[in-house]
Structure 1
Amino acid sequence: MSVSGTASIQDGKAIRSRGWLALAALLAATIFLIDTFSPLDMAIAVLYVVVVLFAASFVEKAGLLVIAGACIGLTVLSFAVMHSENYSLSATMRGLVSIAAITVTTLLSLRNREATGVLRDQAALLDLSHDAIFVRDTADTITYWNQGAAQLYGWSRNEAVGQSATDLLRTRFPAPRAEIIAEVLRTGRWDGELVHTTRDGRLVTTMSRWSLQRDARGRPVATMETNSDITERKQAENALHQAQADLAHVTRVTTMGELTASIAHEVNQPLAAVVTNGEAGLRWMRRPVPDMGEAELSVERMIANARRASEVVARLRALARRGEPVHVRLDLGEVIEDTVALIERELSSHGVRLDMALDPTLPPVLGDRVQLQQVIINLALNAIQAMDGEAREHRRLRISAAPPDEECPGVECPGVAITVEDDGPGVDEEKLPVLFNPFFSTKKDGMGLGLSISRSIVEAHGGRIFATRGGDGPAARGMRFTLILPFAKETVS
């Protein structure tokens, strides 16, 4: 605003103030004339409190004291004019009552001005906040709207006050609104993420904090809502999540490249069996006396092997697919068995013996099959490659799934513990704390992303993964990776 504009506003306020002051003087003069010349035998001077209350709305403290003093002076002057020659106790008492009323009204007005000033200063402090702060009553009607709210949402204070907060902002709640209100009434506070719509139609995500105000009887009066704009942060988090998903997809495709030979082996086996059984079936039917029983068995074996090939292809397509994780109830035993089928060729070519111990009584877990397969494949391939320098008789890979006990020392871990253990050289103790850090690798040609992505996947499933040295004692060799996945909630007693 320009200097001339500010000066014009100040001049306008001064003119209005002089007008109100003239009106107060006229009102005081009218009361004085009535009090002095009216035959009414009553405390007319008490009406000067109206002048004091009226003046309190537009004059400062010093001006109010001057006006109150003038009203008291007019009361005394009127008393002197009317009763200088005819003094009476009742008239004196009426005069004292009027003076007392003017004095008390002045003191109360000054105290009210002081309290109002404190509240105004506090409201001004709230306007300094970058957060959007507003107050709404029990009917959800906005009663206060700070400058931060005006800047974030686009409505001025005059436009927002009196509106329903939920309707004005078209609030999207993370849970039913009735449940949130019930929690506020029970605890006096609530915090969570809300999505609001601004005046120009933009969606903003806010971290919202609600605080309930109660009266002296403990009844709810109003709720103060403080909202911090986290829209950019949420967008950054979503972008990071998408980048992690893309990186995990690239890792899966890279892993499939490493498993090409195993894939060919897995698919060729059932296809070769289909051809063999087909040729056998033809021979049985071309005999001088066709053996239809044997031919039927050959066809059944062909169908079984064709289905096996189809299942292999389906598993590989699932591993390579790109999309959002889908968490469903999973039997970890089946997941591990399907995963092991994908690495059979690697086990054979590296001369590694596989030992599996899968508890058949484990309850299901909630997770994404493809992502969990990715984790297990990554751990298994790391273990297989780590044992390349060992004698063939010492190359042993152990995969187990059981309830956690010593694998989760000192921590309550209600879930399934999947352990992948090898007999390779292992990792030095000082490197264990950084083993899951991005870009840290113990391989010469490693990228250092496999274990980091595996940890992200496990933690996204609500679990945890850690590594320890395999075996017992100082001469222990190999590595043991343990991942804990929680049971599906509905199965927990």
Structure 2
Amino acid sequence: MSERPSRMTSRPTGLQVALMLVGVAIIFAIDTFAPLDIAIAVLYAVVVIASADFLGRRGILLVCAVCVLQTLLSFAIVHGESLQSGPVLRALIGLCAIGIATLAALRNRKAAESLSDQAALLDLSHDAIFVRDATDVITYWNAGAEELYGWPRKEALGQKSHALLKTKYLPSAGTMEQLDDSNRWQGELVHTRRDGTEVWVVSRWAVQRDERGRPFATMETNSDITEQKHAEDALHHARSQLEHVTRISTLGELTASIAHEVNQPLAAILTNGEAGLRWLLRDKPNLEEVRRALERMISNGRRASEVITRLRALARKSNPSHTVLTLNDIVADVIPLVEREMLNNDVGLRLDLQAPAPPVLGDRVQLAQVVINLVVNAIHAMSQIDDRRRLLSINSGTSLEDSNSQMAVLEIEDTGTGIDPKIAGDIFTAFQTTKADGMGMGLSISRTIVESHGGSISATSGDRWGALFRIRLPALQQDEVAAAAEQAY
């Protein structure tokens, strides 16, 4: 059988061969010419074992044969004429030592070649794979790691991996202390290549422990997800742009209501200003009435300012900013903006808001966009109804997810046409709309926003008519409220 090639088998150097020949010659000389009554031939075993470091199977067998012949030749020269038991026994001991050493060398060589071939398979992987010891020193570095990070194997070996790669842990990734019972860990990391660029990877660790349970080696497999992350960032940017466009479109539908909300306090300011001026122009100015008129002007000015502030918040493009708030706060922000729309469509409003409402962590503008979308949809769904009262009901409350989890709930119900069974399963799908001039993005974006807050949104038809939309968000515990407030501060 021909010897299987191995990545460990390499041509021996001249120095290695020379040292081996010198060793064999020295042992032969001592065994033949030194007046020692000991089994000098046992030393050939050292030569056989040493040859396994740079010779293959055939080379080891050749060295074994040479050592056996040298032993027999030395015996023939020294004891050829008289076969005494002592010299024969020493020769047999030497031959046994050579044979045992050869078997051990062949076995170790086979095991080393097997490990080397397995390591060669790791070089076929497109993933970056490396092994580090308990002190984080790299002991193995495959071809995939060379390609991904840029450091060749000879430069990476012996380096501390976290220092070489400048490992950055994401807050959600945790660290090695959070290994599970199977001694495995997986998470996303950020590494730095040799050229200084950063690369995102999905990292999987497998830890090997000693008999005392202490880790002594870790194999780390890293898959490059940098392009995926860039695509996710681009998708997030496009989604933000679409959210902004939808929000502006919704505000456009509420132009009359918004104009009313601004004009009403402005008209009140004008009326109170004229009244205050008349009280001052009397022969005996009534300063108390003037003071009251000024107070009413200030109150209405603040009201107009609050409306404009809410509109600016909804109209501007900005990154989400999560703060502690309640769903009641969101309703309070939205109602003034839709009052005129309800009035124009003869829609009544019924509020049933839980007090105190459970706090949630959310972006005020995004959640207001969700509620505005649902309320405007409800108003439009009732605009053609003539055989029953047009009523918009908004209820807030809580529900228990389990013994340790509470959800804040907001329900928006109308008495409109309800949900068409044909599209009930796709109501939150993008571009699904029943409006002739609708984009079909409002409910899809609303679901995206709610789910990004860790909640859910659902829609069902009413018992008799109309539709019921339910928003559920995780309620904060007291310690979470304090932590969120401290972080915001």
Deviates more, 1:101-110 or 1:50-59: 50-59
Inter-partner Cα distance in structure 2 for 1:419 and 1:185: 41
The residue number in structure 2 matching 1:215 is 210
Q: Does the Cα contact within 8 Å between 1:351 and 1:392 map onto a contact in 2?
A: no
Q: Distance in 2 between matches of 1:353 and 1:377?
A: 16
Q: What is residue 471 of structure 2 aligned with on the other side?
A: 483
CA distance in 2, matches of 1:185, 1:260: 56
Structure 2 distance, partners of 1:220, 1:351, is 72
2:6 is aligned to none
* Cα RMSD, aligned residues only: 2.2
Contact 2:209 2:216 in 1 (8 A): yes
> Paired residue for 1:281?
276
2:419 pairs with one of 414, 427, 441: 427
Tell me, yes or no, if the aligned pair for 1:205 and 1:231 is still in contact at 8 Å: yes
Q: What amino acid is aligned across from residue 208 of structure 2 in structure 1? A: Q
- Matched to 1:44, the amino acid is I
Match of 1:446 in 2: 438
**C-alpha distance in 2 between matches for 1:30 and 1:183:** 58
Paired with 1:224 and 1:370, the residues of 2 have a C-alpha distance of 46
What is aligned with 1:183? 178
| Alpha-carbon distance in 2 for matches of 1:355, 1:17 | 93
Q: Please say if residues 136 and 143 of structure 1, whose CA atoms lie closer than 8 Å, have aligned partners that are also in contact.
A: yes
Q: Which residue of 2 aligns with 1:91?
A: 87
Give the structure 2 partner of residue 468 of structure 1.
460
User: How far off its partner does 1:289 sit?
Assistant: 1.9
Please state how far the C-alpha of 1:61 moved relative to its aligned partner: 1.3
Q: 2:249 maps to what in 1?
A: 254
**What is the correspondence of 1:34-53 to structure 2 with a 5 Å cutoff?**
34-53=30-49
1:83-162 aligned at under 5 Å gives the runs 83-162=79-158
User: Residue 169 of structure 2 aligns to a residue in which SS?
Assistant: coil
Question: Which deviates further from its counterpart, 16-25 or 478-487?
Answer: 16-25
- AA matched with 2:34: S
Alignment partner of 2:393 out of 395, 398, 412: 398
Residues in 1 aligned to 2:104 and 2:304: alpha-carbon distance in whole angstroms: 92
Return the offset for 1:192.
1.0
- Pair 1:345–1:392, CA change in 2 (3 A): farther
1:389 CA displacement: 1.4
Residues 202-232 of structure 1: CA deviation (Å, up to 9, x unaligned): 1101111111111233221111111111000
Q: Is the 8 A contact 1:415 1:487 kept in 2?
A: yes
Instruction: Answer yes or no: is the 8 Å Cα contact 2:269–2:296 preserved in 1.
Output: yes
Alignment match, 2:364: 369
Shift of 1:176: 10
Aligned mate of 1:173, from 153, 169, 172: 169
Alpha-carbon distance in 2 for matches of 1:135, 1:490: 44
Encode CA deviations 1:456-480: one digit per residue, 9 max, x unaligned: 000011000010001x2xxx21111
Is 1:27 the counterpart of 2:15? The answer is: no
Any idea what SS the aligned residue of 1:209 has?
strand
Looking at structure 2, the residues matched to 149 and 186 of structure 1 have their Cα atoms a distance apart, in angstroms, of 27
Following superposition, the deviation at residue 22 of structure 1 comes to: 5.3
Structure 1 Cα separation of the partners of residues 268 and 368 of structure 2: 27
Deviation of the 1:144 alpha carbon = 0.7
2:337 maps to which residue? 342
What is the rounded CA distance, in whole Å, between the counterparts of 2:208 and 2:274 in structure 1?
Answer: 85
Q: 1:392: how far off?
A: 7.2
Report what 1:54 is aligned to: 50
Deviation string, structure 1 residues 136-185 (Cα, Å, up to 9, x no partner): 111111111111111011000100011111111111112499x6132238
Per-residue deviation at 1:294?
1.1
Deviation at 1:119, TM superposition (A): 0.6
1:301 aligns with 2:289: no
Contact 2:132 2:139 in 1 (8 A): yes
**Secondary structure of 1:424's partner?**
coil
Q: State the Cα distance separating 1:251 from its structure 2 match.
A: 0.7
Question: Residues 490 and 224 of structure 1: is their aligned pair in 2 closer, same or farther, counting only changes over 3 Å?
Answer: farther
The AA in structure 2 aligned to 1:358 is: L
Query: How far apart are the structure 1 equivalents of 2:91 and 2:353?
Result: 101
2:320 and 2:16 map into 1 onto residues whose CA distance is: 71
State the SS of the aligned residue for 2:284.
coil
Deviates more, 1:415-424 or 1:330-339: 330-339
Describe the shift of the 1:369–1:191 C-alpha distance in structure 2 as closer, same or farther (beyond 3 A): same
Between Structure 1 and Structure 2, how many residues are aligned?
472
Alignment gaps of 5+ in structure 2: 1-9, 482-489
Deviation at 1:74, TM superposition (A): 2.0
Do 2:358 and 2:398's aligned partners in 1 also have CA atoms closer than 8 Å?
A: no
- The one-character-per-residue Cα deviations of 1:15-65 (angstroms, maximum 9, x if unpaired) are x55664455344323322321222122111111113212332333212322
Give the conservation status (yes or no) of the 8 Å contact 2:408–2:475.
Answer: yes
> 2-side partners of 1:326 and 1:383: how far apart?
28
1:75 to 65, 71, 87: 71
- Percent of counterpart pairs with the same letter? 52
- The match for 2:315 is 320
Unmatched tracts of structure 1, length 5 or more: 1-12
Q: TM-score, normalised by structure 1?
A: 0.91
